[in-house]
Structure 1
Amino acid sequence: MQVDHVKSVYTNLDLRETMTEKEMYDEENFMPTCRQCNFYKSTMTVEDFRKRLQTTMMNNLRKNFGYRLAVKYGLVEGKNKEYCFLF
């Protein structure tokens, strides 16, 4: 696990400068995340990251043989373009 900043410190320091140092490093701006999610979220907001997961990454995942096999055997369900992994 890694510590992710809910509001990007990089974006704030280099572009916006709307947050104080206390706000950037306050406990409320921290969120536990796995290394991969922290890397791919980058400077996006949580909402933007979720949208990206639902579109770009899910479209790429659907092309994967393992995903198609999981759908075939009922290990993945789909509702309104939102997917839930059952395994």
Structure 2
Amino acid sequence: MNNKDILKQYDEIKRKKLTKEERIEIYNRFDGRCGYCGEKIDIKDMQVDHIVALRVGGTDTLDNMICSCRSCNHYKSTYTLEKFEKQLQEIPNRLIRDSAIFRIGLKYGLIEIKDKKVEFYFKKI
């Protein structure tokens, strides 16, 4: 058994199966929006993320769970909120470095980089 399989087993053992009522409670707590980006999502598309990942010591309790869209949940992975925020802030620099299409879009004024700090939706509500 490799490390990935061991971690998967660990997650499955520790992860709580949410009831329909608990999912609705989490969804309503964030007004039907992703707690990270603020995008409106249908409850059927909602993913529940652990704010502090189980793998790094987070609890499997409702107060550590957040309504999340698929892309934010996937990108955050097991990052801390601070690391997630830092990774998001670095996206323009990585796109400039890694994407010729992005650089062309910038040259022609089709894309604009904003000097903006990442603000998570859940911190605003």
TM over 0.5: yes
AA matched with 2:114: G
Residue pairs, 1:21-40, within 5 angstroms: 24-40=59-75
Cα distance between partner residues in 1 of 2:55 and 2:109: 42
**Secondary structure at the counterpart of residue 47 of structure 1:** helix
Unaligned 5+ runs, structure 2: 1-45, 119-125
Aligned partners of 2:92 and 2:113 also within 8 Å: no
Cα distance between partner residues in 1 of 2:71 and 2:60: 21
**Secondary structure at the counterpart of residue 76 of structure 1:** coil
**Secondary structure at the counterpart of residue 40 of structure 1:** helix
Cα RMSD, aligned residues only: 2.8
Cα distance between partner residues in 1 of 2:50 and 2:72: 12
AA matched with 1:60: R
Cα distance between partner residues in 2 of 1:9 and 1:64: 37
Quote the residue 1:15 is aligned against: none
Higher strand share: 1
TM-score (norm 2): 0.44
TM-score (norm 1): 0.58
Cα distance between partner residues in 1 of 2:117 and 2:103: 11
Cα distance between partner residues in 2 of 1:10 and 1:42: 10
Unaligned 5+ runs, structure 1: 13-18
Aligned pairs, number: 70
Cα distance between partner residues in 2 of 1:3 and 1:72: 37
AA matched with 1:31: I
Cα distance between partner residues in 1 of 2:66 and 2:77: 13
**Secondary structure at the counterpart of residue 114 of structure 2:** strand
